[in-house]
Amino acid sequence: MARVLLSNANNLLPCFQSSSSSTPLTSLYLHKQIVRTHPTSCKSALLNQDSSSSCSVLTTKRSLSISLTTGFLFFLSGKGCSDANAAILEPDDDEELLEKVKKDRKKRLERQGVLNSAAQETGYLQELVYKLSRVGQAIEKNDLSTARSVLGQSSDTDWVQKVNSAFKKLSSSPEEKSEVETFSSALDSLISSVTKNDIEASKTAFVASASAFEKWTTLTGLVEKLKGL
């Protein structure tokens, strides 16, 4: 349970990488820098270059331009395909999501109807909240005699049978039923430990039972209806 039950229970227990090889653009940049730094020597060197060198630079620039253009076109083509695939998938996704929303809404309405028609069972569970609260306070004070008077001597008592009938009517999903089993087992251990006057076992069993009941009320939606949670 939220504040009351679990508070009692808690009181008890992480650049671009520069390549060493120059790209054509890097070579061209370095070439211009050298020309600016040594204009005289570079002038004669440039005059002595043959046509094959000029042709090589032009070819390199042309190749680079073609590569960039081709890559860009492939990028656009790929993006177009992705967008097209997304456009194809979106309606299906929307339909699936809408169907899920409808099912969830239907399930909530059905559950609300069950809760609204289970006033008696809700009363049994409200009584359980009060009993567990009193037991938790008693165990916190090491007062097992008071806890024993609240719980009774066995799990065959009338209030336990009523709680079990409420669990049976209001539990539908496997998760909810699993929490009920956990709670019932923990409650049996709690009653037995209190009867045997075993304070440490009583504390452990109380924590287990309170935690299971809190999870069950959250799963079923009763957490909003029961007082003291």
| 29 pLDDT more than 50 | no
Residues in the chain: 229
- What mean pLDDT is predicted for residues 66-76? 51
CA distances (Å), origin 172, targets 111, 114, 166:
9, 11, 12
Exposed e or buried b for every residue in 167-200, given b needs 16+ CB within 10 A?
beebbeeeebeebbebbbebbebbbbbbbeeebe
C-alpha to C-alpha distance for 161 and 179, rounded to whole angstroms: 17
| pLDDT given at position 47 | 42
- Average pLDDT, rounded, for the chain: 74
Global pTM exceeds 0.75: no
C-alpha to C-alpha distance for 5 and 129, rounded to whole angstroms: 8
Helix pair angle (119-140, 174-195), 10° resolution: 40
| 13 pLDDT more than 90 | no
Domains of the chain by residue range? 51-117, 121-224
C-alpha to C-alpha distance for 90 and 19, rounded to whole angstroms: 42
Domain 121-224 fold: Four Helix Bundle (Hemerythrin (Met), subunit A) (1.20.120)
99: confidence class by pLDDT, cuts 50, 70, 90: confident
| pLDDT given at position 184 | 97
| pLDDT given at position 151 | 97
Most confident of 47-56, 63-72, 92-101, 129-138: 129-138
| 158 pLDDT more than 80 | yes
- What mean pLDDT is predicted for residues 171-183? 95
